Structure 1
Amino acid sequence: MEYRRSHQPGGTYFFTVNLADRSRTLLTDHVDVLRAVTRRVKQAHPFDILAWVVLPEHLHAVWTLPEGDGDCATRWMLIKAGFSRRLPKDEWIRASRRRKGERGIWQRRFWEHLVVDEDDLQRHVDYVHINPVKHGHVSRASDWQYSSIHRYIRQGLMSEDWAAGMTDGFEAGERK
């Protein structure tokens, strides 16, 4: 089955990518592998990371693709495959995946949203940064080490106590 994907050359996208087994903590356990693979993919297939947060079992990202290039699917396929190849083969694999020679680490698909304007972009960047708080991992977004919020703080775009105590109004695409 072919899934419809937004294909906006030079577009900015918000993504959610999940592990197949949401009870595992592979992404934070192996965050250095994820970072190395992402760097390698970015070198071969450039894109700008505007925001990124890695949680134990899923991640969110906001990327801008180069002008004339709308292929986010290849980039995610390469990141997911590169990450998977570097992990021990200890996951449970469904028979349908086994028949296709696939690992059982990632959900096959990812969720994407084409960012439509500056306000939409800000809502999604905020959502990325507040996500560890929403999931109860930390009480302040800046306390989560696997987040681009630290770059925003260094650049003076956010404070260390940004959104402290707030989780309401930070649904993807919603900002109150």
Structure 2
Amino acid sequence: MPRTARKKSESGIYHIIMRGINRQTIFEDEEDCAQFLEVLQRYKEKSGYEVYAYCLMGNHVHLLMKIGIEPLEQVMRRLCGSYVYWYNNKYQRVGNLFQDRFKSEPVEDDQYFQIVQRYIHQNPVKEGLGKRVDEYKWSSFHEYIDQENIVNVKFLLEMMRDEKQK
């Protein structure tokens, strides 16, 4: 049975979820998380995407991003391929790390964007990894509070400012 076609976003913004194969852990330690974020940062300029939120959980990843120069599939091939190559080398393993293809959901309006962004940051609390979102280290929440690094924080802040002015 053929796969259903991926829904294309008019805005170019997607909520992306990548899960470990058989729900296995894809981030064994802090070095793994740091490496994934380094890969995310490294391909930002080359692929031309914007990251608005991320959360690295033990066996899955949430990303809220806008595609730029390259199509979504190529961006994800770069990100996943680079991380899996590094991970397999580190753990002396071969084969797939991520389950099936990544999931992507188009984000077409400001209200839904804010819902998804909040959901991503609250995911560790929902999973019992802390009582507050600021207790979890591997989420972009800290970039909104402390210092912007990978995430385009201004996008959400301008969106909220524009809503307030309406």
TM-score between both structures, scaled by the size of structure 2: 0.76
Q: Tell me which of the two structures has the higher relative contact order, counting C-alpha pairs closer than 8 angstroms and 6 or more residues apart.
A: 2
3-state SS in 1 of match to 2:80: helix
- Which amino acid in structure 2 is aligned with residue 24 of structure 1? T
The Cα offsets for residues 95-133 of structure 1, whole Å up to 9 and x where unpaired, read as: xxxxxxxx1211121111111211100100000000001
Tell me whether 9-18 or 22-31 shows the greater mean CA deviation: 22-31
Aligned-residue CA RMSD (Å): 2.3
Gaps of 5+ in 1: 94-102, 158-176
Q: Cα distance, 1:33 vs. partner? A: 1.5
Question: In structure 2, which of residues 55, 64, 73 is the aligned counterpart of residue 53 of structure 1?
Answer: 55
What's the counterpart of residue 137 of structure 2? 145
Instruction: Confirm whether residue 65 of structure 1 aligns to residue 67 of structure 2.
Output: yes
Q: Say if 2:27 and 2:57, in contact at 8 Å, map to a contact too.
A: no
Q: How many angstroms apart in 2 are the aligned matches of 1:59 and 1:104?
A: 15
Q: How many angstroms apart in 1 are the aligned matches of 2:28 and 2:67?
A: 23
3-state SS in 2 of match to 1:26: coil
Instruction: Confirm whether residue 82 of structure 1 aligns to residue 99 of structure 2.
Output: no
Q: Cα distance, 1:79 vs. partner? A: 0.7
Q: Which runs of 4+ in 1 moved over 6 A?
A: none
The alignment covers a number of residue pairs equal to: 144
Instruction: Sort the Cα spacing of 1:79 and 1:28 in 2 relative to 1 into closer, same or farther, 3 A.
Output: farther
Q: Say if 2:10 and 2:108, in contact at 8 Å, map to a contact too.
A: no
Alignment of 1:122-141 (within 5 A): 122-141=114-133
Q: How many angstroms apart in 2 are the aligned matches of 1:136 and 1:31?
A: 19
Q: Say if 1:27 and 1:57, in contact at 8 Å, map to a contact too.
A: no
Which structure shows the higher helix fraction? 2
What's the counterpart of residue 16 of structure 1? 17
Q: How many angstroms apart in 2 are the aligned matches of 1:32 and 1:62?
A: 18
Q: Cα distance, 1:90 vs. partner? A: 4.4
Gaps of 5+ in 2: 148-152, 154-166
